[in-house]
Structure 1
Amino acid sequence: MPLHIRDATEADIPAIAALYAEEVRERVATYEYDVPDEAEMAQRMRAVQAAGYPYFVAERDGRFAGYAYASSYRSRIGYRWTVEDTVYIVPEHQGQGVGKALLQRLIDACEASGFRQMIAVIGEPANGASVALHEKLGFRTVGVFQGLGRKHGRWLDTVQMQRALGARDGAAPSDE
Structure 2
Amino acid sequence: MLEEEYERRRTLPPHLRKRPAPETPFAFSVREAVEQDLPDVREIYNHYVANSTVTFDESPWTLAALREKFAKVRELGYPFLVAVSPNGVVLGFAYVYPWKEKAAYRFTVENSIYLGPASTGKGLGTALMGELLDRAKAAGVKEVIAVIADRGAEGSIALHERYGFVTTGSMGRVGFKFGRWLGVVMMQKSLGRRR
Instruction: Give the drift of 1:125.
Output: 4.0
SS in 1 for 2:77: coil
SS in 2 for 1:95: coil
Q: Using the alignment, how far apart are the partners of 1:41 and 1:100 within structure 2?
A: 24
The 5-angstrom pairing of residues 91-130 of structure 1 reads: 91-130=117-156
Instruction: Give the drift of 1:141.
Output: 0.9
Residue of structure 2 in register with 1:50 after alignment: 75
Give the TM-score normalised by the residue count of structure 2: 0.82
Give the TM-score normalised by the residue count of structure 1: 0.91
Residue of structure 1 in register with 2:169 after alignment: 143
SS in 2 for 1:44: helix
More strand by share: 1
Which of 74, 84, 88 is the equivalent residue of 1:59? 84
SS in 2 for 1:66: strand
| Alpha-carbon displacement from aligned partner over 1:123-164 (angstroms, at most 9, x marks no partner) | 224411000010111111111110111111111010110111
Residue of structure 1 in register with 2:60 after alignment: 35
Q: Mind listing any 5+ residue stretches in structure 2 that lack a counterpart?
A: 1-25
Q: Using the alignment, how far apart are the partners of 2:115 and 2:171 within structure 1?
A: 24
When Rg is computed on C-alpha atoms for both structures, the one with the higher figure is 2
SS in 2 for 1:96: coil
Q: Mind listing any 5+ residue stretches in structure 1 that lack a counterpart?
A: none
Are the counterparts in 1 of residues 95 and 112 from structure 2 also a CA contact under 8 Å? yes
Are the counterparts in 1 of residues 53 and 152 from structure 2 also a CA contact under 8 Å? no
Q: Using the alignment, how far apart are the partners of 1:75 and 1:54 within structure 2?
A: 18
Q: Using the alignment, how far apart are the partners of 2:142 and 2:70 within structure 1?
A: 22
| Alpha-carbon displacement from aligned partner over 1:59-106 (angstroms, at most 9, x marks no partner) | 123321100000101111111111110000011111111111111111
Code of the residue aligned with 1:73 in structure 2: it is: W
Residue of structure 2 in register with 1:76 after alignment: 102
Are the counterparts in 2 of residues 118 and 163 from structure 1 also a CA contact under 8 Å? yes
SS in 2 for 1:121: strand
SS in 2 for 1:100: helix
